Amino acid sequence: MRHLIAASALALLAAVPFTPARAIDCTGSPLNHDQKRLLGGTENLCTSYGGKVILVVNTASRCGYTPQFEGIEKLYKTHKGDGLVVLGFPSDQFRQEEATDESIAKFCTANYGVTFPMYTKTRVDGDDANPFYKDLKAATRHAPDWNFNKYLIGRDGKVLAHYSSRVTPDDPKLLEAIKAELAKPAPQAAAPAGNAVAGR
């Protein structure tokens, strides 16, 4: 039974087709980057999640902060219906991550039941950092100095804040900031040009 549950959870981490939101102008947005999902498939973060409140976390499987996965998953499940999405970026930059994407996925699902979107293992600082993380650093003047740093992005696609590893998923200041953004109206997705139907 546990294997069936783990297999189902792994399927959730795999590439899932998302309906393009296009709720914000992606031009120049820090979200306007294509990222490879943990178990395959590529998506544009702005197209997939523009208009949502986004918490970005660099994760690791063998870190003292790894138990934060539990709280992060709980936070995601509690507020995803309100417009929150968590984006997890595994990184071995601090020598505490599994060797392969497959082993990362198995660890996350078997131990913490992770269902929020996770991406392929990446670097989060330095000249060879993921370009998305370079933009997060430019916006906040903070690069991750350890695992489980967090960045909050508002519904308008702008980076609002950086939080250190010590800020837990249930920290009042983080929850207050998330709820304040969730309370804002979601941008309305623009209809693609040329899709208007006469008489409707």
> What is 24-50 written as a DSSP string?
S--TT-TT--EEEBTTS-EEEHHHHHT
- 46 flagged as catalytic: no
DSSP character at residue 52? S
Contacts of 102 (CB under 8 A, 6+ apart): 39
> What is 68-81 written as a DSSP string?
HHHHHHHHHHHHGG
Cα 102 from chain centroid (whole Å): 18
Catalytic residue among 26, 46, 63, 108: 63
The catalytic site residues sit at 63
